[in-house]
Structure 1
Amino acid sequence: MAKANALFNIKRMLNESEKDTPIEVSFLQDLNYTLRQMNTWSSGYYFKEVSNEKNPELFDTSEGKTVNVVTLETLPEKCNKEHVYEDNHVLYHTNDQKYYIGVFSDGKPSRRYKPSDMHCLRSMYYQIIGADPDEEQQKSGDFYGICESGTDRHLRVQTAISLMRKYGVDCDYVDVEEYIKENNLQHLVVEKKKQYETKVYDKNRNIIFLCDGILKYKGQYFVFEFKTESSYKWINRESVDDSHKYQAYTYSLELGIDKVLFIYENRDICTKKPFILIVTNENKQFIENRIKNCDSYVNQKITPPIEASVTKKNCQYCSYKKQCKVDGK
């Protein structure tokens, strides 16, 4: 009886709280909730936990229907390809059923090196061994808005660059996949192309990277990188950010282009600053050594020490803070 009364009182308090909430505040709360849900299930599909792993299922959040996970061999005949995801998994459908060819994800980052993680050897190590990342904090609708805004600005600026030749400017947006083929870069595999961006995998070094593009401007080749940032960062921007240099070194190593053109845009007023980073052989060798060093720790199953060069800013956005604390210095 006491438990029932307690539940009733909680429900009453929630209802009274809702009555006191101004309608505009309530709307904003509901809008932010919806934005979080949209981005949590951004593809429209997510894996549903099931007891029978031999017959896994997917739940379609957009339609509330079950989707069957199958292999190519068990896919029914006369299925139409509906959607190809960035991991190359494919969703097929018939008139009344949907079939997804794919595998379950363990929820961990892929065991591949990423240019943006090269600043910390220990973070690289954790990712390659498949260590458990920290439990992700729920992000706000505002956070997703910032990400969407950056994506939108990327697309608009990249579209403008692709039209420069049309307006008489000596500039071409080079297709990354064609560049890889023409330059016989056999170690690189294109995993995904989306408009102007290309996801590329180096099968020899185990590096995965997303390239904003390659430009041929006035006869010179450049790797192109576009960044958006807040006013307080942009106003003092006088050079390429240190955290972005490892990306430039990696792109240069992979594509054989020594000049990286960065455009930093003020997120508030869209004013831009350009910088060119010339990547040296020493810079590229640094990345090579970095990977070999991490591979050595992985093979020996030894956690690398925390490097003196790692900053508090690096640690702030790290996905392995808990594991790092357990392992100590």
Structure 2
Amino acid sequence: MEDNSSRVTEFILLGLSDTRGLQLLFFTLILLAYTMVLLGNLLIIVTVRTDPKLSSPMYFLLCNLSFLDICCTSVTVPRVLVALLSGHKAIAFEGCMAQLFFLHFVGSSEMFLLTVMAFDRYTAICRPLHYTAIMARGACWALVAACWAGGFIHSAVQTVLMLRLPFCGPNTINSYFCDVPPVIRLACADTALTEWLMASNSGLISLGCFLVLVASYVLILAKVRARVSQGNWKALSTCASHVMAVTLFFMPCIFTYLRPAGTLPTSKYVCAIYTILSPMMNPLIYTLRSSEVKESMLGWQNPGVHPELHLESRSYSTPTQ
């Protein structure tokens, strides 16, 4: 029988540094990055929601991506900022589990959404004649709902597996937020089976979505490789920027989760790539490169301009075989 009095009631997050000077430097940099995430993604959401010209499925999905990026950073960053400024590193056990749940909920939902966005690009470029029917508004809502549902199921499984483990000390986490790899090492039990279950859950989702994304962009490049028109170079540029964004997000996740937690140490600085850097870069990579979005933000009125998606699909589309 487990002694409840010996259960851990709080964890100590070591954070990014114990040096006061570095803590202030990290606070400044992270606050700046968080501000950019909030402002950039909120600007995109407001722009897409208020401009009728940006009503294509691509911009609908990008709007959802911006919302997920805000949620992803807000799960971890505010508490990190408070800890860096005040030096308070303790987090209640329940708060730690809640942070772990929402981090995986939002993170895996974003993985699924990025995969849907790659499917949207593939359909627009490789099957332009069927695009309107395949990516109808109802289908887009259903795909986004499926992304959220998939993220919830994944995160619920992770959290339930964690809650079943006993934690009786030590309670020091070598990270700046609660996540599966650093927390599971503190369990007072044999966690080998649980680690493999979690690795197969999180790791295979990360790897599977990434492979689907790569395959879709390979098919897109194969579709346009024989043409060298201006529209095709635009398509290649768009695909290249999307590949850079998904690589920035997926590779650290694959490195972190596609293995049992105890096999190799996980760098907290690697985790910063997908919790802070990637949400900050997504507005620049995905949306702010679009001339239609920039024109809308600047208040330009140009009724003859159609969303970038249709420009791309018309410029190098061929009849469906």
Greater helix content: 2
Task: Indicate whether the TM-score tops 0.5.
Answer: no
TM-score, scaled to structure 1? 0.24
- In terms of fraction of residues, the more strand-rich structure is 1
- The structure that has the greater radius of gyration is 1
Larger RCO (alpha carbons 8 Å, 6+ apart): 2
Q: TM-score, normalised by structure 2?
A: 0.24
